Amino acid sequence: MSDPIISVQRISKQVADSTGTLTILHDIDFALFPKETVAIVGASGSGKSTLLAILAGLDTPTAGTVTLAGTDLFALDEDARAALRARQVGFVFQNFQLLGHLTALENVMLPLELMGRRDARAAAAEMLARVGLGERLAHYPKLLSGGEQQRVALARAFVVRPAVLLADEPTGSLDFATGAKVMELMFELNREAGTTLVLVTHDPQIAARCERQLRIDAGRVAEAAAA
């Protein structure tokens, strides 16, 4: 078996609240391998999104380590973590997180421009065509439907060909039919790119499409039933 693309070792996360210290995640260990599709499931408020943020180095654990592509995330400073994310990680969020003052094309170009890619415009246009938005390049997010905005977000995530795609409830803001189409597209793009997909979802049908499910219960992670 190949080396893990992400290795999580004894991750814990605690925060202070009015009653004292709240443990969100406790002593979590698991590994994710290249090209895997993994769903993180659990009750609302169980810490799924917190775990996803820690995997990306967007949030810091109270204890433990996360290794991404062979690099200890929390041995890096914030700037170095951001640089590693830019090279290795794509994101898709529930609320799209598009920049409203940029067109669809400019939103997808942005991560390529930050990498110094000279072909940013052509590559972004090609990816938008791949997600069915070749005629929407000059549209601003406010002129796009929710499903179209999420397809722009998918294009932005996959255009850099990340090693890992982290998706946090990507259909949460969409109606059922639109969400089903977006998920079908996400899985298609993931197969084409050979990306490791880590998907937080409350939808058992979406989770069942992944090769593995990790369930958070009482701050701990356990392997759930295989898809």
The CATH number of whichever domain residue 102 belongs to comes to 3.40.50.300
Listed as ranges, residues in the chain with pLDDT below 50 are 226-227
Task: Output the pLDDT for position 138.
Answer: 97
Task: Output the pLDDT for position 2.
Answer: 78
Task: Output the pLDDT for position 1.
Answer: 60
The range of the structural domain enclosing residue 106 comes to 35-58+86-223
Greatest Cα pair distance in the chain: 54
Q: How many domains does the chain have?
A: 1
In a domain, 20, yes or no: no
Task: Output the pLDDT for position 105.
Answer: 97
In a domain, 66, yes or no: no
Task: Output the pLDDT for position 227.
Answer: 46
Count of beta carbons in the 10 Å neighbourhood of residue 100: 8
Report yes or no: 207 and 41 within 8 Å, Cβ to Cβ. Answer: yes
Task: Output the pLDDT for position 22.
Answer: 86
Pairing label, strands 6-17, 20-32:
antiparallel
In a domain, 3, yes or no: no
In a domain, 201, yes or no: yes
In a domain, 132, yes or no: yes
